[in-house]
Amino acid sequence: MKLFKKKNYIRINPPEAVSVPMEETPSIPDGLWVKCKHCDKTIYTKEINEYKICPNCGYHFRLTAKERIALICDEGSFEEWDTDMKAKNPMQYPDYDKIIQKAQQKTELNDAVVTGCCKIGGYDTVLAVMDSHFMMASMGSVVGEKITRAIERGTKKKLPVIIFTASGGARMQEGIISLMQMAKTSSALQRHAGAGLLYVSVMTDPTTGGVSASFASLGDIILSEPGATIGFAGRRVIEGTINEKLPDEFQTAEFQLEHGFLDKIVPRTELKNTLIQILKLHCQKEACENG
């Protein structure tokens, strides 16, 4: 006698899966939505105009060099310099050539800075714009050389220099050569200042490491965008060195302004007009001195 008997169930065969052509399946195109890193809200991309500012909290998204130039320069006035300059591999760092090539394909730039001359509000200006999308705008031999050449041309032409900084620091793949760019760019700015010419540094997110310790901090006038990260070493390194907990707002533009490191924090929407006013005052000063 069986204690357990298997019940008989009526089997129902599932219907055959209906295949839907790929072109009929609903899909959401890439790039329609972006998440703000500051307020964590999802934003419809059409709500963000060319300034790339979060409509909810005012967070300033990072710009490419081309986007920055389009916002700051008078239309059609920018003339790029040293377009064919590319980095080599002086330290024979493994796969450095591949890293550079990948960054070039991603950004359509030869390296992390674009330099040239332009008009801003009708005023002739030498402009350098660093692009954090290219290896976090790390400073190697090409970045240092292009910025130095731009400053020297500004000195020769007696033009003001404006540099938009954004960098993770010196480029480790080039070793001591990258660190030498700190002295080279600083020396060029000293000669520029000796000629009585204007240099405006505009710090954007992030400006750290060897860049913040050299030309980014040497402006006659130092501006910043709101919320930008500005500092030298990382928070964990500093806290481990001094054995103290740092404030939450440490290394923000607002913290640096409060402690006298910046002259002014300027929202992106007002930045061009602010630069025009600075250039206007500088030109009036020159006219008075020459007159």
> Is 0.75 surpassed by the pTM of this model?
yes
Say if CB 275 and CB 225 are below 8 A apart.
Answer: no
Residue ranges of domains in the chain, CATH in brackets? 30-61 (no CATH), 62-290 (3.90.226.10)
User: Per DSSP, which regions of 109-266 are E strands?
Assistant: 113-120, 123-130, 161-167, 199-207, 221-224, 264-265
pLDDT tens column, 33-87: 888 988 888 998 888 889 999 999 999 999 999 999 999 999 999 999 999 999 9
Asked whether the beta carbons of 78 and 69 are under 8 A apart, the reply is: yes
Q: How far apart are CA 291 and CA 159, in angstroms?
A: 18
pLDDT at 47: 83
pLDDT band at 160 (very low <50, low <70, confident <90, very high): very high
64 Cβ contact list (under 8 Å, min separation 6) = 107, 131, 133
d(CA 197, CA 192): 6
At 4 the pLDDT is 55
| Residue % of the chain over a pLDDT of 90 | 73
Please provide the average confidence, as pLDDT, over all residues in the chain. 90
pLDDT band at 21 (very low <50, low <70, confident <90, very high): low
At residue 126, the pLDDT reads 98
Mean pLDDT of 211-218: 97
